[in-house]
Every structure is written in C-alpha cells, then in structure tokens.
C-alpha cells in the first residue's frame, strides 16, 4: 500500500534504520517530509539518535512542521518510562484529534525492540495507525560482518542481554545462530555464557552499527572487565568450516 499522510490524522511509526542515514527507505524519507508533526525519543538535553539519523529528510520540510520529543529517563525503573510514554501519547493524541499527521521516528525497525510499540498500544484503539518497517541492527550487523545469519537448516534466535545467564546458555546451546541484543550493561554475563557453552570463538561483538563510531570485535577475550554502550550486540553463528561441512551432508 502506498501510504499517503497529507491531510490525514494518522499516526505512523517509521523505522529509520540502525544509524547510517543512507539506510533510510524512500518511503520513510517521503513520509517524514509530508508529516505535520514529528516525534522521537530524546534525552533530557533534547538530543535524539533517531532524529540525527533522519536529519537529511528533515532538512527541507515545512517550517510549520512541529516536533514532539519523548524525553526518556535513563533510570531502569519502568514506571518512569511508562510515564514518559503516557505523556507523549497524550500530546500525540491532541495533534491527531486536531487532524494532523504524526510520524514517530524509531531507530531500527518500529516493531523490533522499538519504542514505537509502546505508543502504538496507547493510541491504536482511537486513531488510525500505520507502520513503515526499517532495517534492524540485526541485519545491519550481519552485513557489517559479511556473515550470513542462517543457512540451510540452521536455527536462529534473538534474545536480550537482560535475560538470565541460564536463559542465555540454553539459547546458545539450542540454536545455531543467536543474536543477543541490549548487550551493554550485560556484557560480562553474556561473555560468561559464551564461555560456558563453548561458543566464544563463534561470537562477534558490534557497537554503534552504521555510525561513525562503529566498532567490531572478533576476539571475545579483549572485552573483559567493563560494560559496553547501549547500542551494542553479539552475533553468534556457526564457523565457516562447520557450515561447509553441513552443506555437503
């Protein structure tokens, strides 16, 4: 469907990709420029990663385009985050009620660990909502490594670093390919799980994929002793030698 949002009170979650501005889809670019209102996650200083990624699309928009930043507290307490989403949903609802179109910029894909999902559940019963998919950090990581995520009959799982060490071990044991998201504060637990399951040599670690500060580490022994940034993940796959062997069976 060719989404058009001009003169429509519609809420659209737009995936802006993992960080490289050139990975923004043509559809996302067009809808950002058409929107009456742009919303995005921001910190207390007003800085927004999603807004920075979409900067090219935002350059030549109408001066009448309004912004609704969703100021997200850094605390682990979910009640504070829920309050921020509640307040943002109210502001977006007011814009939609006034007949304005609202585009929410979401890093990666809106419905894959995306902040858009929390606003969608607050607004979808009362307003027209649509989603424009974006390139996820999982696929950007695979491309950066030039390593297939899955081949032939390989199983694939995506988990969060917030899972327990036991859950991580079980997943690493049960699946051929595993991506572990939200690795930053959990990096040491993840490294321990990789060691316990004998999969350290299968792992790659990436930070800030598609951004100027992108960093890739293939030697897990060099990651000991400290936590990583929020925008980091592990990609664990079968070795090339194992894949060559499996392809002949």
- CB neighbours (10 Å) of residue 203? 22
- CB neighbours (10 Å) of residue 204? 19
Give the pLDDT of residue 249.
55
Give the orientation angle of helix 116-123 with respect to helix 78-97, to 10 degrees: 60
The CA distance from 24 to 56, in Å, is 10
The CA distance from 110 to 183, in Å, is 19
Give the confidence band of 160 by pLDDT, cuts at 50, 70, 90.
very high
Helix locations, the chain, DSSP H: 26-34, 49-53, 55-58, 78-97, 116-123, 137-145, 165-174, 187-196, 240-247
Would you give the DSSP letter of residue 107?
S
Pairing mode, strands 102-106 and 37-42: parallel
Classify domain 10-135 by CATH architecture. Answer: 3-Layer(aba) Sandwich (3.40)
The CA distance from 179 to 171, in Å, is 10
Segment holding 39, helix H or strand E: strand 37-42
pLDDT average, residue stretch 191-204: 96
- CB neighbours (10 Å) of residue 3? 15
Write the CATH number of the domain with boundaries 138-247. 3.30.950.10
Give the pLDDT of residue 240.
66
Phi first, then psi: give them for residue 115, nearest 5 degrees. -65, -25
Give the pLDDT of residue 224.
77
Give the pLDDT of residue 19.
94
Read off the pLDDT of residues 58-110 as tens digits, 9 standing for 90 and up.
987 877 789 999 998 866 678 989 999 999 999 999 999 999 999 999 999 99
Give the pLDDT of residue 64.
78
Average model confidence (pLDDT) for the chain?
Answer: 91
Q: How far is CA 177 from CA 8, 35, 138, 212, 234, in A?
A: 43, 39, 12, 27, 11
Task: Give residue limits of the domains in the chain.
Answer: 10-135, 138-247
């Amino acid at each position: 469907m060719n989404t058009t949002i001009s003169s429509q009170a519609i809420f659209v979650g737009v995936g802006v990709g993992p960080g490289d501005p050139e990975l923004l889809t043509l559809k996302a670019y067009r809808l950002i420029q058409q929107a009456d209102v742009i919303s995005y996650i921001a910190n207390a200083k007003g800085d927004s990663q999603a807004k920075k990624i979409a900067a090219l699309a935002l350059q030549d928009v109408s001066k009448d385009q309004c912004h609704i930043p969703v100021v997200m507290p850094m605390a682990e307490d979910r009640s504070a985050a829920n309050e921020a989403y509640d307040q943002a949903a109210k502001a977006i609802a007011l814009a939609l009620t006034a007949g304005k179109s609202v585009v929410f910029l979401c890093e990666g894909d809106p419905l894959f660990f995306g902040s858009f999902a929390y606003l969608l559940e607050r607004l979808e019963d009362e307003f027209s909502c649509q989603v424009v998919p974006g390139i996820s950090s999982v696929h950007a990581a695979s491309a950066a490594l030039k390593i297939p995520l899955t081949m032939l009959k390989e199983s694939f799982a995506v988990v969060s670093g917030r899972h327990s060490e036991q859950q991580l071990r079980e997943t690493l044991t049960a699946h051929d390919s595993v991506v572990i998201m939200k690795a930053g504060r959990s990096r040491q637990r993840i490294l321990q799980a990789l060691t316990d399951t004998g999969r350290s040599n299968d792992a790659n670690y990436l930070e800030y994929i598609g951004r100027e500060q992108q960093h890739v580490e293939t030697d897990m022994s060099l990651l000991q002793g400290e936590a990583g940034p929020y925008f980091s993940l592990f990609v664990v796959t079968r070795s090339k030698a194992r894949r060559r062997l499996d392809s002949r069976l």
